[in-house]
């Protein structure tokens, strides 16, 4: 910890890492586990997290792997680190309940890290919770998957449902269907100054609707010497409609070092 983050402060009960943006990061170990493999080799897995003391704090988190037995034999400190803040705005703060260390089989340990993010659009705000699967094998830490366990799009749902119903009615109204025998002529362009700013023109596509998609997952034991397969069950709704339930079994791809998730996982669009 001192090598990575700086000296330990008895007053702050944390390792203090200087920050270029304000106060230093107060880094603490939030989870650790010593794992012994079938050959009796011990490996230390731990996670650290901290933040600055500013009014709008920046966060920093990382996971570490220390091959304890190898270090004891060689006398040389060796470890691997994966920082978690690089992909998230203002970093990511973690608590112990955000991580779980599990076995994927074949002697491979992995962290399951809960990551929460929000994306703000013009009409909907999407809140999502992903589970990152971070595994240590081959001497490195790899992200094997990012599982979207909960994806919610929220906004003025009642108005959006009404707009969708109106759009759908216009599509199914025979009066709005072109007559093949009498092709429509091109209408003159509308005067932009005559368009109401309160009713912006929408392209002829479906308006957005609120949605909620939940993905349950489990790791099912694989064959001897292979990693567990990832089983997914997805349910949800969009607007006033239930989305079809879906199930997948995803096997680990040793070439890409990932669990390649199908495009439909966590996707509220069913058409």
Q: Is 199 part of any domain?
A: no
- Show which of 76, 94, 112 is a domain's final residue: 94
Q: What percent of the chain has pLDDT over 70?
A: 84
Among left, alpha and beta (phi > 0; psi -120 to 50; other), residue 31 is: beta
- Domains in the chain, number: 2
Residues 59 and 130 reside in one and the same domain: no
Name the band, by pLDDT with cuts 50, 70 and 90, for residue 271.
low
Q: Provide the token pair at 56.
A: 């709008």
Weakest-pLDDT range from 160-169, 192-201, 210-219: 192-201
Q: Is 18 part of any domain?
A: no
3-state SS, one letter per residue, for 179-241: CCCCCCCCCCCCCHHHCCCCCCCCCCCCCCCCEEEEEEEEEECCCCCCCCEEEEEEEEEECCE
Residues 60 and 74 reside in one and the same domain: yes
Q: Are 64 and 45 in contact (CB under 8 A)?
A: yes
Residues 41 and 147 reside in one and the same domain: no
**pTM summary value:** 0.82
Residues 13-22, mean pLDDT to the nearest whole number: 86
Q: Is 241 part of any domain?
A: yes
pLDDT at position 55 is: 78
Helical residues (DSSP H) of the chain, grouped into ranges: 2-5, 68-74, 157-172
pLDDT at position 202 is: 55
Find, among 236, 237, 230, 235, the residue nearest to 262 by Cα: 230
Neighbours of 12 (CB within 10 A): 14
Name the band, by pLDDT with cuts 50, 70 and 90, for residue 56.
confident
Residues 82 and 112 reside in one and the same domain: no
Residues 84 and 142 reside in one and the same domain: no
Residues 47 and 90 reside in one and the same domain: yes
- Show which of 43, 63, 94 is a domain's final residue: 94
Residues 230-251, mean pLDDT to the nearest whole number: 95
Q: Is 17 part of any domain?
A: no
In terms of pLDDT, which residue wins out, 209 or 196? 209
Residues 115 and 83 reside in one and the same domain: no
pLDDT at position 119 is: 87
Which residues lie closer than 8 Å to 31 by C-beta, 6 or more apart? 46, 47, 96, 99, 101
pLDDT at position 180 is: 59
**Is the predicted pLDDT of residue 45 greater than 70, yes or no?**
yes
Residues 37 and 113 reside in one and the same domain: no
Average pLDDT, the chain: 85
pLDDT at position 186 is: 47
Residues 90 and 111 reside in one and the same domain: no
Residues 117 and 228 reside in one and the same domain: yes
**Is the predicted pLDDT of residue 268 greater than 60, yes or no?**
yes
- Show which of 72, 94, 116 is a domain's final residue: 94
pLDDT at position 247 is: 97
54-63, 74-83, 139-148, 155-164 — most confident range = 139-148
Residue 164 vs residues 141, 151, 190, 210, 241: alpha-carbon distances, Å: 45, 21, 24, 11, 12
Residues 71-88, mean pLDDT to the nearest whole number: 83
Distance in angstroms (rounded) separating the CA atoms of residues 236 and 211: 7
| 170-208: pLDDT as tens digits | 887 666 655 556 555 544 444 544 443 443 445 567 889
Give buried/exposed letters for 67-91 (b at 16+ CB in 10 A, else e): bbbebeeeeeeeeeebebbeeeeeb
Residues 35 and 84 reside in one and the same domain: yes
Residues 40 and 165 reside in one and the same domain: no
Q: Provide the token pair at 54.
A: 């500013």
Task: Domain of residue 87: give its range.
Answer: 25-94
């Amino acid at each position: 910890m001192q090598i990575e983050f700086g000296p330990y402060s008895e007053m702050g009960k944390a390792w203090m890492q200087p920050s270029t943006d304000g106060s230093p990061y107060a880094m603490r170990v939030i989870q650790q586990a010593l794992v012994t493999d079938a050959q009796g080799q011990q490996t230390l897995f731990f996670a650290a997290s901290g933040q600055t003391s500013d009014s709008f704090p920046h966060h920093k988190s990382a996971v570490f792997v220390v091959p304890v037995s190898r270090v004891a034999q060689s006398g040389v400190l060796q470890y691997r680190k994966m920082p978690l803040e690089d992909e998230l705005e203002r970093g990511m703060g973690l608590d112990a309940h955000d991580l779980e260390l599990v076995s994927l089989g074949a002697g491979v340990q992995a962290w399951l890290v809960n990551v929460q993010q929000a994306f703000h659009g013009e009409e909907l705000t999407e809140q999502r919770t992903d589970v990152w699967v971070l595994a240590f094998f081959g001497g490195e830490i790899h992200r094997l998957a990012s599982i979207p366990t909960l994806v919610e799009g929220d906004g003025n749902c009642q108005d959006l449902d009404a707009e969708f119903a109106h759009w759908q009615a216009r599509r199914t109204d025979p009066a709005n269907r072109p007559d093949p025998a009498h092709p429509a002529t091109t209408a003159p362009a509308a005067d932009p100054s005559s368009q109401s700013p309160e009713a912006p023109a929408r392209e002829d596509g479906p308006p957005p609707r609120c949605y909620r998609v939940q993905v349950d997952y489990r790791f099912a034991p694989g064959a001897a010497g292979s990693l567990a397969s990832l089983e997914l069950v997805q349910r949800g709704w969009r607007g006033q409609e239930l989305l079809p339930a879906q199930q997948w079994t995803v096997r680990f791809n040793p070439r890409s070092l990932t669990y390649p998730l199908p495009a439909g996982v966590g996707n509220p669009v069913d058409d």
